[in-house]
Amino acid sequence: MQTFTGQANDPYLLERKLWNEGFQRVMGLDEVGRGCLAGPVVAAGVILDPDVTIPGIADSKKLNAIQRKDVAGRIKSECVWWTIAMCDRNEIDSLNILRASLLAMERCVKQTAPAPDYLLIDGNRGMPAMLIPSATVIRGDDLSASIGAASILAKVYRDEYMASLHKEYPEFGWDRNVGYPTSFHFEALERFGITSHHRTSFRLRTDKMYGAQENGRSAPMPCNDPGDIPDATDFQGADGQQFIRSKY
């Protein structure tokens, strides 16, 4: 396992180095949602075409929602392969958030065919079990085009996912905070309690269950119906709702 550093003014530097060494299917991997109180952690993997430069790839945190969605569309149409996978709240609580994040990225790799021949992984934790040459890249979404592309796809998907959950639970403002620990989110937890989408292994500051009698609603059962999730027909794979979508 190596650790690479790149240049912010040349996000294709790492990819070109690997392409020149003979690697043809270099996959960038990133995840979003690790710090959230609710919802899944979502990972994406992208294999870029060495002959195509996609303008606008940058750390998704620097783009507004409209820009991210536009760039995400270009990534999907111009890359060699893209894939998205996730770990839900139950897996996060069972495994811990770090292991769940790595598992979501591992699923991206396993959903890719033919398999990648090199992995560029955002952060400082690798996936040695994949048995594929790889390197971690600290601040990878700034320094690697393929990791930056993966970051954008993961964030666009997860934001839309949380917006869909907001329709069921508007009290928590998930269309704006997408599950992150904002003061509004904590205030809603104190008032309404937790839902089946909240991570009980996280510090939620309340033991109250959603659906207190004063608001006239009962506590929900865990949602396992992929029909409640956007584009459900695109990710009902062998791994249940964890498989989201791939393109080759």
Average pLDDT of the residues in 192-220: 72
Range of lowest pLDDT (42-56, 87-101, 118-132, 162-176):
118-132
Average pLDDT of the residues in 46-66: 86
d(CA 151, CA 145) in angstroms, rounded, equals 10
What pLDDT sits at residue 7? 62
Strand ordering across the sheet containing 41-47: 2-4, 134-137, 118-122, 26-32, 41-47, 81-87, 243-247
As a three-state string, the secondary structure of the chain is: CEEECCECCECCHHHHHHHHCCCCCEEEEEEECCCCCECCEEEEEEECCCCCCCCCCCCHHHCCHHHHHHHHHHHHHHCCEEEEEEECHHHHHHHCHHHHHHHHHHHHHHCCCCCCCEEEEECCCCCHHHCCCEEEECCHHHHCHHHHHHHHHHHHHHHHHHHHHHHHCHHHCHHHHCCCCCHHHHHHHHHHCECCCECCCCCCCCCCECCCHHHCCCCCCCCCCHHHCCCHHHCCECCECCEEEEEC
Give 187: exposed, middle or buried? Use CB within 10 Å, 0-12, 13-18, 19+. middle
Confidence of residue 98 (pLDDT cuts 50, 70, 90): very high
Every domain of the chain and the residues it spans: 2-163, 166-227
Percentage of the chain exceeding pLDDT 90? 70
pLDDT of 76 higher than 70: yes
Average pLDDT of the residues in 161-167: 97
Range of lowest pLDDT (47-61, 83-97, 139-153, 234-248):
234-248
- Computed over every residue of the chain, the mean pLDDT equals 84
| CATH class entry, domain 2-163 | alpha beta
What pLDDT sits at residue 10? 85
What pLDDT sits at residue 127? 86
Average pLDDT of the residues in 135-161: 95
Percentage of the chain exceeding pLDDT 70? 80
d(CA 73, CA 105) in angstroms, rounded, equals 21
pLDDT of 28 higher than 90: yes
Confidence of residue 241 (pLDDT cuts 50, 70, 90): very low
What pLDDT sits at residue 211? 62
Average pLDDT of the residues in 199-207: 87
What pLDDT sits at residue 206? 75
Confidence of residue 92 (pLDDT cuts 50, 70, 90): very high
